[in-house]
Amino acid sequence: MGFKVAIMGATGAVGDEFLKILEERKFPMTSLKLLASKRSAGKKIKFMGDTLTVEELTHDSFKGIELVLASAGGSISKEFAPSAVKAGAVVVDNTSFFRMHEGIPLVIPEINPEDIKKHTGIIANPNCSTIIMALPLFPLHKRWKVKRAVIATYQASSGAGARAMQELREETAAFLEGKPYTRTVIPHPYAFNLFPHNSKLLDTGYCEEEVKMLNETRKIFHEAAFCLTATCVRVPVLRAHSEALNIEFENEPDIAEAYEILRKAPGVEILEDRAKNRWPMPLDASGKDPVYVGRLRKDQSRAKTMDLWCVGDQIRKGAALNAVQIAEML
């Protein structure tokens, strides 16, 4: 048994990762169609010993397709996902466009797989920062009930796409050689620098990335009043986001038990060496599936509160892997 699959946005960073993960996990397919912009049409991509040709994305691209893995940008999904559904396909969409739409499931398979069954043609993949945070947060929430979570993110260039990753490489080289560099994707000096996340700033003072983490967590956890505040920061790392979580619970948490809970949590691995002051780093997570967690400790300033540190590959579990896992459950 196999499925007729299309990748929408096949030439981007997440599209490239879709191909790697479909091959690694031996996803059952009888055919694979690669779709991208007119600019990328005709490009040749090797996959499982074959050479596939990228086709231009049109509203007629989905005839006979059963599954679409989409990661071509919100405006593209807005325009083309309905055409895919009309043609009979199920779309697993990695953009932000459908995430908060009423009636469209927003799914992390380790947390709310039952929501997949509620789809009417489109299933949304959460924001990468939300996924990386939610995997360790949810099992702790089930045990002690989160009262409030305060999050600081340290986000890699991969979150802004393949071109941003290339800009970071090029700007770093230029900086080291003392040469000027003109950026086209990242708005601020990026090499050896960091800055609050450059998504749209809202009237509240929060940026869109920070609001996504709150709203998406509420939807995934089915907790409409879940309390969370985030400060999102872009750091000069190629891929893999890091996050610091300060979590206040309604009940007193136990650190030793928290470690045991997270050791058993799907999609999570403990990675640390306390004797060497060694904790998860972006290089540990890059190209890997788990969200790595460490440095659990009681907050000395507040009762019923603990801190932890987690790192996850933004392109894999934060995007492509999560979408493929949803497709596997379909």
pLDDT above 90 for 58: yes
What average pLDDT does this structure show over 322-327?
Answer: 98
Cα atoms in the 13 Å half-sphere on the side-chain side of 5: 25
Reported as a pLDDT band with limits 50, 70 and 90, residue 50 is very high
- Global pTM value: 0.96
What are 17-47's pLDDT values in tens digits?
999 999 999 999 999 999 999 999 999 999 9
What are 231-261's pLDDT values in tens digits?
999 999 999 999 999 999 999 999 999 999 9
Please give the pLDDT value at position 218. Answer: 98
What are 156-208's pLDDT values in tens digits?
999 998 899 999 999 999 999 999 999 999 999 999 999 999 999 999 999 99
71, amino acid identity: S
What are 263-287's pLDDT values in tens digits?
999 999 999 999 999 999 999 999 9
What average pLDDT does this structure show over 298-321?
Answer: 97
Please give the pLDDT value at position 132. Answer: 98
Express as a percent the part of the chain with pLDDT over 90.
98
pLDDT above 90 for 212: yes
Structural domains of the chain, ranges and CATH numbers in brackets: 3-126+320-329 (3.40.50.720), 130-314 (3.30.360.10)
Q: Encode the chain in three state secondary structure.
A: CCEEEEEECCCCHHHHHHHHHHHHCCCCEEEEEEEECCCCCCCEEEECCEEEECEECCCCCCCCCCEEEECCCHHHHHHHHHHHHHCCCEEEECCCCCCCCCCCCECCCCCCHHHHHHCCCEEECCCHHHHHHHHHHHHHHHHHCEEEEEEEEEECHHHHCHHHHHHHHHHHHHHHCCCCCCCCCCCCCCCCCCEECCCCECCCCCEHHHHHHHHHHHHHHCCCCCCEEEEEEECCCCCCEEEEEEEEECCCCCHHHHHHHHHHCCCEEECCEHHHCECCCHHHHCCCCCEEEEEEEECCCCCCEEEEEEEECCCHHHHHHHHHHHHHHC
List the catalytic residue out of 119, 128, 141, 232: 128
List the catalytic residue out of 141, 197, 241, 310: 241
What are 112-159's pLDDT values in tens digits?
999 999 999 999 999 999 999 999 999 999 999 999 999 999 999 999
Please give the pLDDT value at position 34. Answer: 98
Tokens for 9, please give them.
């946005």
pLDDT above 90 for 75: yes
Determine whether 241 is an active site residue. yes
Please give the pLDDT value at position 309. Answer: 98
CA distances from 261 to 127, 136, 139, 265, 307 (A): 24, 9, 7, 6, 15
pLDDT above 90 for 1: no
